Amino acid sequence: MNRILKKSDMVSLATGLARPSREEAEAAVRTLIRWSGDDPDREGLAGTPDRVVRSYEEFFAGYDQDPRDMLQRTFEEVEGYDEVVVLRDIRLESHCEHHMVPIIGKVHVGYLPDKRVVGISKLARVVDAFAHRLQIQEKLTAQIANTLQEVLQPRGVAVVVEAAHQCMTTRGVHKSDVTMVTSRMLGAFRDNGETRREFLTMIGRTSV
């Protein structure tokens, strides 16, 4: 009889690392609560370790997803369409790998098809798969663009990320209303200024 795998039995698809048990994770949260100066057994905090672990399962679901698999189903019946495809304002929710606090913003993705296109929801899923890991914005931007280029093999890929980092707004220098912008241009978007400007115009920017 096959035994149902628990989360503690699994390894991260993205890193190959084994996970500690759920009980160990909850114990770690209790330790942090005590370290912060509070009592993890008081009424308001008694269920917090369980809630935090369940939140982490959602926040970091990307470690169990393969973005390349999401792009395997493509379509060739596009009636000769060969212009830029853009999905803009994709909601970004990630976490800074340095302080483990939220990165909130939006991602714009564009590509210039060669012979095939992919469903637009898959572009958003690729963004989420990489975002739902501990990240820095520069790496996230490159991962999205590189994966689209490697799997779809289009004539070019463009990715722009605009995000606010709570490691800067709620701690440290405490600078609010600051947005970090990163971009990665590949193929035609790097080599052809007109194609790059077309993409930037479509996402409402003049430059990056």
Give me the catalytic one of 65, 162, 165, 198.
Answer: 165
138 assigned to active site:
no
Per residue in 74-97, pLDDT tens?
998 888 888 999 999 999 999 999
149 assigned to active site:
no
Give me the catalytic one of 96, 108, 132, 162.
Answer: 96
CA–CA distance, 147 with 173 (Å, rounded to integer): 34
Could you say which DSSP state residue 170 is in?
Answer: S
Bridge partners, residue 158, by sequence:
110, 185
Per residue in 2-47, pLDDT tens?
434 454 458 999 999 999 999 999 999 999 999 999 999 999 999 9
This prediction has a pTM of: 0.92
Give me the catalytic one of 23, 24, 72, 98.
Answer: 98
Residue 45 token pair: 């905090």
Per residue in 129-157, pLDDT tens?
999 999 999 999 999 999 999 999 999 99
Give me the catalytic one of 26, 57, 93, 99.
Answer: 99
Give me the catalytic one of 65, 95, 132, 137.
Answer: 137
65 assigned to active site:
no
174 assigned to active site:
no
166 assigned to active site:
no
Q: Longest Cα pair distance anywhere in the chain, in angstroms?
A: 65
